């Protein structure tokens, strides 16, 4: 059989309904697939602009969903945030971590708990606080409780604006990282289709403003984009910044090692890892030297924290089967899962894609972690878009996540409590298990894609093994078996 050639210009204009059966089914009620003579490139609305517009609408809907909490004020004594499903840490922590009095995170202390977040997230909060003070005036003056709540509302709005910028950048980076996906709509134009799995995600609306995780997610997405462009040093710098904002980006060095081993590019991995460690150290060093105990608060908090919401360990605790040492057991299980993923990556018939292995490792970490907060789903959002851009699997996963997001607030509001005080809240247990099942489903199909590359929706064009891997892309193109094309 003749060798596989790159897609022609006509192929590069493949429609979404032609490459994804689920999309084809959804378009039936919207007039059917695009016609062969349709002019799809003459509008000002380019695919990327459409995706950014979708992201704007999604994020705006999420902000509107938080409106009941914004109207009621950020009062810990109120159950409204849980009953209205609009809870966010942002407004509360402004009042409870010294920002309302004009204090700086880590460096200033007072009659309030030390900020239990990594250094760069504290910096993000400090920037938002400075903008808030420019709007509301000097926070050092004596304010009433009501005035502090009003100022916390301004702080929330400022953070919403900053996180919205993060969301737009995240969508753009996901689109850029997915460049070159074979036989996706428009070749390079297929980038926005992949980014829609981020821009249109319901969880982006529901969880983006619960906490500051989106800041770390966009830094991690930037690192993956840098790697796709063949820039290991920039990958390390951005990964180090992401780790300084949230611990999880550090986990990507493991999957990257497998990719580099398969490609015999260990020097590039070493450079990336070294740049990441140095960057993380430089960001953390000033706070460590000036306020060591306050810097340690994040690590102490996570070490001493008991099993909490969203985790299987929390369900076991509610069921009176609490595990004695969750820390050690979760580390052991996670280590075993990482070893299994490494074996899968090394023994696969084709070198696995970086996004596939990264998704598997981060998902495994979340499944065994002692806390699985609702907003942690954002960690997986760009990884799923790059690892498994398939509408059916994405919808299954999103449905499970949205169900849990709703149930956790109803659980906290005690709406799900049975009539008898002796009966446990089994509906919440079900939501945790269903959420884990949705993530496990994605892990299984991604693992199948690694073992059977012909099922990989990204590789179905048979031209590029890993369109997001610019560091090893200088190798000759590794084409799939033509029989599978």
pLDDT digits (tens, 9 = 90+) for 351-403: 999 999 999 999 999 999 999 999 999 999 999 999 999 999 999 999 999 99
Domain annotation covers residue 252: yes
- pLDDT surpassing 50 at residue 23: yes
Domain annotation covers residue 9: no
pLDDT of residue 478: 41
CA–CA distance, 171 with 47 (Å, rounded to integer): 12
Domain annotation covers residue 19: no
Q: Which of 216, 218, 235, 248 is nearest to 279 (CA)?
A: 235
Domain annotation covers residue 291: yes
Going 445 to 450 to 451 to 454, the CA torsion angle's sign is: positive
- pLDDT surpassing 70 at residue 335: yes
Q: How confident is residue 474, by pLDDT bands cut at 50, 70 and 90?
A: very low
The total domain count for the chain is 1
pLDDT of residue 415: 87
User: What mean pLDDT do residues 448-465 have?
Assistant: 79
Cβ contacts of 315 within 8 Å, gap of 6 or more: 428, 429, 432, 433
Percent residues over pLDDT 90 in the chain: 69
Domain annotation covers residue 259: yes
- pLDDT surpassing 60 at residue 16: no
pLDDT of residue 41: 54
User: What mean pLDDT do residues 26-39 have?
Assistant: 54
* Residue of higher predicted confidence among 44 and 367: 367
* Residue of higher predicted confidence among 244 and 17: 244
Find how far residue 394's CA is from the centre of its chain: 14
Domain annotation covers residue 15: no
- pLDDT surpassing 90 at residue 93: yes
CA–CA distance, 299 with 281 (Å, rounded to integer): 15
Domain annotation covers residue 479: no
pLDDT of residue 20: 59
pLDDT of residue 180: 46
pLDDT of residue 324: 87
Cβ contacts of 355 within 8 Å, gap of 6 or more: 177, 224, 383, 386, 387, 468
Contact between 243 and 219 under an 8 Å Cβ cutoff? The reply is no
Range of the domain at 77: 46-471
User: What mean pLDDT do residues 59-81 have?
Assistant: 90
| Cα dist from 262 to 161, 354, 449, 452, whole Å | 42, 11, 17, 17
pLDDT of residue 414: 86
pLDDT of residue 45: 79
Cβ contacts of 156 within 8 Å, gap of 6 or more: 66, 70, 74, 88, 90, 91, 94, 209
Query: Which of the residue ranges 210-214, 261-265, 280-284, 433-437 would you say has the lowest mean pLDDT?
Result: 261-265
């Amino acid at each position: 059989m003749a060798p596989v050639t790159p897609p022609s210009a006509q192929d590069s204009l493949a429609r979404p309904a032609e490459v994804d059966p689920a999309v084809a089914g959804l378009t039936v009620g919207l007039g059917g697939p695009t016609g062969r003579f349709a002019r799809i490139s003459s509008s000002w609305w380019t695919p990327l602009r459409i995706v950014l517009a979708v992201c704007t609408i999604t994020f705006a809907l999420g902000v509107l969903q938080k409106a009941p909490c914004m109207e009621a004020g950020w009062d810990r004594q109120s159950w409204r945030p849980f009953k209205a499903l609009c809870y966010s840490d942002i407004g509360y922590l402004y009042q409870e971590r010294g920002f309302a009095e004009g204090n700086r995170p880590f460096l200033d202390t007072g009659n309030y708990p030390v900020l239990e977040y990594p250094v760069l997230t504290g910096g993000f909060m400090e920037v938002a606080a400075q903008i808030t003070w420019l709007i509301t005036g000097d926070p050092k003056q004596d304010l009433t409780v009501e005035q502090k709540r009003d100022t916390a509302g301004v702080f929330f709005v400022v953070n919403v604006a900053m996180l919205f910028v993060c969301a737009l950048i995240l969508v753009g980076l996901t689109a850029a990282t997915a460049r070159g996906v074979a036989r996706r709509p428009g070749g390079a134009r297929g980038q926005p289709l992949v980014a829609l799995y981020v821009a249109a995600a319901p969880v982006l609306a529901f969880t983006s403003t619960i906490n500051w995780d989106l800041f770390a997610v966009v830094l991690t997405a930037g690192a993956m984009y840098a790697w796709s462009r063949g820039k290991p040093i920039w990958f390390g710098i951005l990964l180090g910044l992401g780790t300084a904002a949230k611990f999880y980006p550090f986990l990507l060095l493991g999957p990257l090692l497998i990719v580099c081993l398969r490609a015999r590019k260990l020097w590039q991995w070493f450079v990336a890892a070294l740049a990441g460690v140095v960057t993380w150290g430089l960001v953390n060093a000033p706070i460590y030297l000036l306020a060591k105990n306050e810097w340690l608060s994040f690590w102490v908090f996570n070490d001493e924290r008991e099993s909490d919401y969203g985790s299987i360990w929390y369900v076991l605790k509610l069921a009176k089967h609490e595990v004695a040492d969750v820390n050690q057991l979760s580390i052991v299980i996670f280590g075993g899962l990482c070893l299994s993923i490494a074996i899968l990556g090394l023994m696969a018939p084709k070198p696995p894609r970086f996004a596939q292995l990264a998704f598997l490792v981060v998902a495994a970490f979340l499944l065994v972690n002692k806390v699985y907060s609702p907003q942690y789903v954002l960690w997986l959002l760009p990884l799923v878009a790059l690892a498994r851009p398939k509408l059916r699997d994405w919808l299954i996963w999103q449905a499970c996540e949205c169900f849990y997001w709703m149930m956790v607030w109803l659980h906290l509001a005690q709406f799900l409590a049975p009539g008898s005080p002796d009966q446990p809240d089994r509906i919440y247990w079900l939501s945790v298990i269903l959420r884990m099942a949705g993530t496990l489903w994605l892990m299984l199909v991604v693992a199948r894609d690694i073992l059977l590359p012909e099922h990989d929706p990204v590789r179905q064009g048979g031209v590029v093994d890993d369109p997001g891997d610019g560091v090893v892309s200088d190798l000759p193109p590794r084409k799939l078996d033509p029989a599978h094309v």
